Amino acid sequence: MSMFINILASIVLIVMLVYIYKKREENETHLGFKIIGYYLLGSFTFRMNEFPVPLGFLVFLFFFRPIANRTAKHYSAYLGLAFFVLQLIIPAVQEYWYERPRDIAASSANMYQISFLQDWSTIRDQLDIDENARLERFRAEYEKDGEIIRLSYYVVGQSDNEFIRYGIDYSSETQTYTVKRRKVARKWMQYERKVFASRFFEVFDEIQARNLSPEQSFDRIILNSDGEKDKYAIEDRKKLLIMGKEIREITNEELPVEGYIISACGRTTYETTSSYTRSSGCLGDVDYFFDALLNRS
Protein backbone atom coordinates (compact mmCIF):
# COMPACT_ATOMS: atom_id res chain seq x y z
CA MET A 1 0.00 0.00 0.00
CA SER A 2 2.73 2.46 0.99
CA MET A 3 4.84 1.60 -2.08
CA PHE A 4 1.82 1.99 -4.38
CA ILE A 5 1.06 5.45 -2.98
CA ASN A 6 4.70 6.52 -3.35
CA ILE A 7 4.81 5.33 -6.98
CA LEU A 8 1.50 7.05 -7.76
CA ALA A 9 2.66 10.30 -6.14
CA SER A 10 5.91 10.21 -8.16
CA ILE A 11 4.00 9.73 -11.42
CA VAL A 12 1.64 12.61 -10.60
CA LEU A 13 4.58 14.84 -9.69
CA ILE A 14 6.41 14.16 -12.97
CA VAL A 15 3.23 14.76 -15.00
CA MET A 16 2.57 18.05 -13.20
CA LEU A 17 6.14 19.32 -13.66
CA VAL A 18 6.04 18.48 -17.37
CA TYR A 19 2.67 20.23 -17.68
CA ILE A 20 4.00 23.36 -15.97
CA TYR A 21 7.06 23.35 -18.24
CA LYS A 22 4.90 23.08 -21.35
CA LYS A 23 2.75 26.00 -20.18
CA ARG A 24 5.79 28.30 -19.96
CA GLU A 25 5.18 31.86 -21.14
CA GLU A 26 8.51 32.30 -22.93
CA ASN A 27 11.72 30.49 -23.67
CA GLU A 28 14.30 30.63 -20.89
CA THR A 29 17.69 29.00 -20.48
CA HIS A 30 17.63 25.95 -18.16
CA LEU A 31 13.95 26.55 -17.36
CA GLY A 32 13.37 22.87 -16.66
CA PHE A 33 16.01 22.85 -13.90
CA LYS A 34 14.60 26.09 -12.50
CA ILE A 35 11.09 24.67 -12.34
CA ILE A 36 12.43 21.65 -10.43
CA GLY A 37 14.35 24.01 -8.15
CA TYR A 38 11.23 26.03 -7.33
CA TYR A 39 9.35 22.81 -6.61
CA LEU A 40 12.10 21.63 -4.24
CA LEU A 41 12.12 25.04 -2.56
CA GLY A 42 8.35 24.95 -2.08
CA SER A 43 8.47 21.46 -0.59
CA PHE A 44 11.44 22.05 1.72
CA THR A 45 10.46 21.27 5.31
CA PHE A 46 11.95 22.43 8.60
CA ARG A 47 10.94 20.74 11.84
CA MET A 48 10.56 22.91 14.92
CA ASN A 49 10.13 20.73 18.00
CA GLU A 50 8.90 17.94 15.68
CA PHE A 51 6.33 20.32 14.17
CA PRO A 52 6.79 20.58 10.37
CA VAL A 53 7.10 24.09 8.92
CA PRO A 54 7.07 24.80 5.12
CA LEU A 55 10.20 26.94 5.43
CA GLY A 56 11.09 26.69 1.74
CA PHE A 57 7.72 28.03 0.64
CA LEU A 58 7.93 30.89 3.14
CA VAL A 59 11.36 31.80 1.77
CA PHE A 60 9.89 31.78 -1.74
CA LEU A 61 7.00 34.09 -0.74
CA PHE A 62 9.19 36.66 0.98
CA PHE A 63 12.41 36.64 -1.02
CA PHE A 64 11.75 35.43 -4.58
CA ARG A 65 10.35 37.70 -7.26
CA PRO A 66 10.73 35.87 -10.58
CA ILE A 67 10.25 37.95 -13.71
CA ALA A 68 10.56 35.55 -16.67
CA ASN A 69 8.00 32.71 -16.64
CA ARG A 70 6.63 34.02 -13.39
CA THR A 71 3.43 31.91 -13.47
CA ALA A 72 5.30 28.64 -14.14
CA LYS A 73 7.70 29.27 -11.26
CA HIS A 74 4.89 30.17 -8.89
CA TYR A 75 3.01 27.04 -9.88
CA SER A 76 6.14 24.96 -9.23
CA ALA A 77 6.54 26.42 -5.73
CA TYR A 78 2.84 25.87 -4.98
CA LEU A 79 3.17 22.31 -6.24
CA GLY A 80 5.98 21.84 -3.73
CA LEU A 81 3.70 23.19 -0.98
CA ALA A 82 0.96 20.78 -2.09
CA PHE A 83 3.33 17.83 -1.74
CA PHE A 84 4.45 19.16 1.65
CA VAL A 85 0.80 18.98 2.76
CA LEU A 86 0.42 15.51 1.24
CA GLN A 87 3.42 14.31 3.24
CA LEU A 88 1.46 15.21 6.37
CA ILE A 89 -1.87 13.77 5.23
CA ILE A 90 -0.82 10.50 3.59
CA PRO A 91 0.74 8.88 6.72
CA ALA A 92 -2.40 9.71 8.72
CA VAL A 93 -4.62 8.23 5.99
CA GLN A 94 -2.43 5.12 5.77
CA GLU A 95 -2.54 4.68 9.55
CA TYR A 96 -6.32 5.11 9.60
CA TRP A 97 -6.75 2.59 6.78
CA TYR A 98 -4.42 0.10 8.45
CA GLU A 99 -6.06 0.41 11.88
CA ARG A 100 -9.68 0.52 10.68
CA PRO A 101 -11.92 -2.03 12.45
CA ARG A 102 -12.73 -5.22 10.58
CA ASP A 103 -15.81 -7.36 11.32
CA ILE A 104 -15.60 -11.13 10.97
CA ALA A 105 -18.46 -13.56 11.62
CA ALA A 106 -18.21 -15.91 14.62
CA SER A 107 -18.98 -19.60 14.32
CA SER A 108 -21.51 -19.49 17.18
CA ALA A 109 -23.04 -17.25 19.85
CA ASN A 110 -22.66 -19.95 22.50
CA MET A 111 -19.47 -20.51 24.47
CA TYR A 112 -20.03 -24.28 24.45
CA GLN A 113 -20.52 -24.50 20.69
CA ILE A 114 -18.09 -21.95 19.33
CA SER A 115 -15.02 -23.27 17.49
CA PHE A 116 -12.24 -21.02 18.76
CA LEU A 117 -9.47 -22.45 16.60
CA GLN A 118 -11.61 -22.20 13.47
CA ASP A 119 -12.59 -18.60 14.28
CA TRP A 120 -8.99 -17.67 15.03
CA SER A 121 -7.83 -19.24 11.75
CA THR A 122 -10.43 -17.20 9.85
CA ILE A 123 -9.34 -13.96 11.55
CA ARG A 124 -5.67 -14.79 10.96
CA ASP A 125 -6.21 -15.53 7.27
CA GLN A 126 -8.37 -12.49 6.54
CA LEU A 127 -5.95 -10.07 8.18
CA ASP A 128 -2.81 -11.94 7.10
CA ILE A 129 -1.62 -12.31 10.69
CA ASP A 130 1.66 -14.01 11.49
CA GLU A 131 1.09 -17.76 12.00
CA ASN A 132 3.33 -17.60 15.08
CA ALA A 133 1.33 -14.80 16.71
CA ARG A 134 1.16 -15.00 20.50
CA LEU A 135 -1.84 -14.63 22.79
CA GLU A 136 -1.54 -11.51 24.94
CA ARG A 137 -4.73 -11.70 27.01
CA PHE A 138 -8.00 -13.65 26.92
CA ARG A 139 -11.22 -12.89 28.79
CA ALA A 140 -14.66 -14.44 28.49
CA GLU A 141 -17.83 -14.05 30.53
CA TYR A 142 -20.91 -16.10 29.77
CA GLU A 143 -24.15 -17.41 31.24
CA LYS A 144 -24.26 -20.91 32.71
CA ASP A 145 -26.10 -22.07 29.56
CA GLY A 146 -23.15 -20.84 27.45
CA GLU A 147 -24.64 -17.58 26.10
CA ILE A 148 -21.74 -15.16 25.64
CA ILE A 149 -21.87 -11.88 27.53
CA ARG A 150 -18.34 -10.68 26.81
CA LEU A 151 -15.49 -12.22 24.85
CA SER A 152 -12.25 -10.49 23.96
CA TYR A 153 -8.59 -11.25 23.49
CA TYR A 154 -5.38 -9.64 22.29
CA VAL A 155 -2.83 -11.20 19.98
CA VAL A 156 0.67 -9.95 19.12
CA GLY A 157 2.27 -10.81 15.79
CA GLN A 158 5.27 -9.68 13.75
CA SER A 159 5.44 -8.11 10.29
CA ASP A 160 8.38 -6.33 8.63
CA ASN A 161 10.38 -6.43 11.88
CA GLU A 162 7.56 -4.71 13.77
CA PHE A 163 5.19 -6.02 16.43
CA ILE A 164 1.51 -5.62 15.72
CA ARG A 165 -1.14 -5.87 18.43
CA TYR A 166 -4.58 -7.11 17.45
CA GLY A 167 -7.60 -6.47 19.64
CA ILE A 168 -10.47 -8.92 19.01
CA ASP A 169 -13.87 -8.17 20.59
CA TYR A 170 -16.95 -10.32 20.16
CA SER A 171 -20.35 -8.61 19.78
CA SER A 172 -23.35 -10.61 20.97
CA GLU A 173 -25.67 -8.28 19.00
CA THR A 174 -24.09 -8.96 15.59
CA GLN A 175 -22.39 -12.29 16.44
CA THR A 176 -19.19 -10.97 14.87
CA TYR A 177 -15.66 -10.24 16.00
CA THR A 178 -14.46 -6.66 15.62
CA VAL A 179 -10.71 -6.73 14.99
CA LYS A 180 -8.51 -3.67 15.47
CA ARG A 181 -4.78 -3.70 14.81
CA ARG A 182 -2.00 -1.29 15.68
CA LYS A 183 1.74 -1.25 15.16
CA VAL A 184 3.23 -0.99 18.62
CA ALA A 185 7.01 -1.47 18.73
CA ARG A 186 10.10 -3.10 17.32
CA LYS A 187 10.66 -4.95 20.61
CA TRP A 188 8.20 -6.84 22.81
CA MET A 189 9.92 -7.99 25.98
CA GLN A 190 7.45 -10.73 26.99
CA TYR A 191 6.83 -12.02 23.47
CA GLU A 192 8.81 -15.27 23.82
CA ARG A 193 7.01 -16.15 27.07
CA LYS A 194 3.55 -15.92 25.50
CA VAL A 195 1.72 -18.95 24.18
CA PHE A 196 1.08 -19.34 20.46
CA ALA A 197 -2.50 -18.21 19.84
CA SER A 198 -3.17 -21.29 17.70
CA ARG A 199 -1.95 -23.56 20.53
CA PHE A 200 -4.13 -21.80 23.11
CA PHE A 201 -7.28 -22.20 21.03
CA GLU A 202 -6.37 -25.78 20.15
CA VAL A 203 -6.26 -26.62 23.86
CA PHE A 204 -9.41 -24.61 24.50
CA ASP A 205 -11.39 -26.50 21.86
CA GLU A 206 -10.07 -29.88 22.98
CA ILE A 207 -10.95 -29.47 26.64
CA GLN A 208 -14.12 -27.42 25.90
CA ALA A 209 -15.29 -24.40 27.86
CA ARG A 210 -18.03 -26.31 29.71
CA ASN A 211 -15.28 -28.23 31.55
CA LEU A 212 -13.53 -25.04 32.71
CA SER A 213 -15.60 -23.80 35.61
CA PRO A 214 -15.65 -23.53 39.41
CA GLU A 215 -17.01 -26.44 41.44
CA GLN A 216 -19.96 -24.40 42.74
CA SER A 217 -22.93 -23.49 40.58
CA PHE A 218 -22.93 -19.87 39.41
CA ASP A 219 -25.13 -17.82 37.10
CA ARG A 220 -22.13 -16.60 35.14
CA ILE A 221 -18.66 -17.98 34.46
CA ILE A 222 -15.54 -15.89 33.85
CA LEU A 223 -12.38 -17.21 32.20
CA ASN A 224 -9.09 -15.30 32.12
CA SER A 225 -5.62 -15.94 30.75
CA ASP A 226 -2.66 -13.64 30.08
CA GLY A 227 -1.11 -16.29 27.84
CA GLU A 228 2.22 -16.14 29.67
CA LYS A 229 4.19 -19.12 30.93
CA ASP A 230 4.58 -18.70 34.67
CA LYS A 231 5.90 -20.57 37.71
CA TYR A 232 3.19 -21.19 40.29
CA ALA A 233 3.38 -22.38 43.89
CA ILE A 234 0.11 -21.32 45.56
CA GLU A 235 -1.00 -24.10 47.91
CA ASP A 236 -4.37 -22.82 49.14
CA ARG A 237 -6.03 -22.60 45.71
CA LYS A 238 -7.75 -25.14 43.49
CA LYS A 239 -5.43 -26.12 40.62
CA LEU A 240 -5.94 -28.61 37.80
CA LEU A 241 -3.85 -29.98 34.97
CA ILE A 242 -5.20 -30.19 31.41
CA MET A 243 -3.97 -33.27 29.56
CA GLY A 244 -5.64 -33.45 26.17
CA LYS A 245 -9.32 -34.05 26.90
CA GLU A 246 -8.62 -35.05 30.50
CA ILE A 247 -8.31 -32.92 33.65
CA ARG A 248 -6.75 -33.98 36.93
CA GLU A 249 -6.00 -32.20 40.18
CA ILE A 250 -2.49 -30.91 40.93
CA THR A 251 -1.41 -31.69 44.49
CA ASN A 252 0.70 -29.37 46.63
CA GLU A 253 3.47 -31.99 46.52
CA GLU A 254 3.72 -31.36 42.76
CA LEU A 255 4.39 -27.65 43.22
CA PRO A 256 5.93 -25.57 41.87
CA VAL A 257 4.32 -26.01 38.46
CA GLU A 258 5.37 -24.04 35.39
CA GLY A 259 2.97 -23.62 32.49
CA TYR A 260 0.24 -21.59 30.89
CA ILE A 261 -2.78 -20.76 33.06
CA ILE A 262 -6.49 -20.37 32.40
CA SER A 263 -8.26 -19.05 35.50
CA ALA A 264 -11.97 -19.60 36.12
CA CYS A 265 -14.38 -18.10 38.62
CA GLY A 266 -18.11 -17.47 38.90
CA ARG A 267 -20.67 -14.79 39.68
CA THR A 268 -24.18 -14.95 41.09
CA THR A 269 -26.64 -12.34 39.85
CA TYR A 270 -29.56 -10.98 41.86
CA GLU A 271 -32.17 -8.30 41.36
CA THR A 272 -32.07 -5.19 43.55
CA THR A 273 -35.06 -3.55 41.84
CA SER A 274 -37.44 -4.57 39.09
CA SER A 275 -35.18 -2.97 36.47
CA TYR A 276 -31.68 -3.33 37.92
CA THR A 277 -29.58 -6.46 38.37
CA ARG A 278 -26.33 -6.72 40.30
CA SER A 279 -23.83 -9.53 40.57
CA SER A 280 -21.44 -10.81 43.19
CA GLY A 281 -17.69 -10.61 42.92
CA CYS A 282 -15.74 -13.39 41.24
CA LEU A 283 -15.86 -16.48 43.49
CA GLY A 284 -14.73 -20.11 43.51
CA ASP A 285 -11.41 -19.46 41.77
CA VAL A 286 -9.81 -22.37 39.92
CA ASP A 287 -6.57 -22.39 37.91
CA TYR A 288 -6.13 -24.73 34.95
CA PHE A 289 -2.65 -25.46 33.58
CA PHE A 290 -1.66 -26.75 30.17
CA ASP A 291 1.72 -27.56 28.59
CA ALA A 292 2.95 -27.63 32.18
CA LEU A 293 5.98 -29.04 33.98
CA LEU A 294 5.40 -30.37 37.51
CA ASN A 295 7.80 -30.87 40.39
CA ARG A 296 8.64 -34.59 40.33
CA SER A 297 10.92 -34.67 43.37
The better pLDDT of the pair 118, 87 is held by 118
Helix locations, the chain, DSSP H: 2-22, 31-43, 55-63, 70-99, 116-126, 197-207
Tell me: pLDDT of 270 over 70. Answer: no
Which of 60, 10, 54, 11 shows the shortest CA–CA distance to 34?
60
CA distance 157 to 189: 13
Tell me: pLDDT of 3 over 80. Answer: no
CA distance 286 to 134: 23
> What does the pLDDT look like over 46-78, one tens digit per residue?
888 778 888 888 898 888 888 889 899 999 999
Least confident of 57-66, 175-184, 228-237, 264-273: 264-273
Q: Residues 6 or more apart from 6 whose CB is under 8 A from it?
A: none
Mean of the pLDDT values across residues 272-281? 58
Whether the pTM exceeds 0.85: the reply is no
Q: Across all residues in the chain, what is the average pLDDT?
A: 90
> What does the pLDDT look like over 13-58, one tens digit per residue?
899 999 998 988 888 889 999 999 999 988 988 888 778 888 888 8
- Work out the pLDDT band at 1, boundaries 50, 70, 90: low
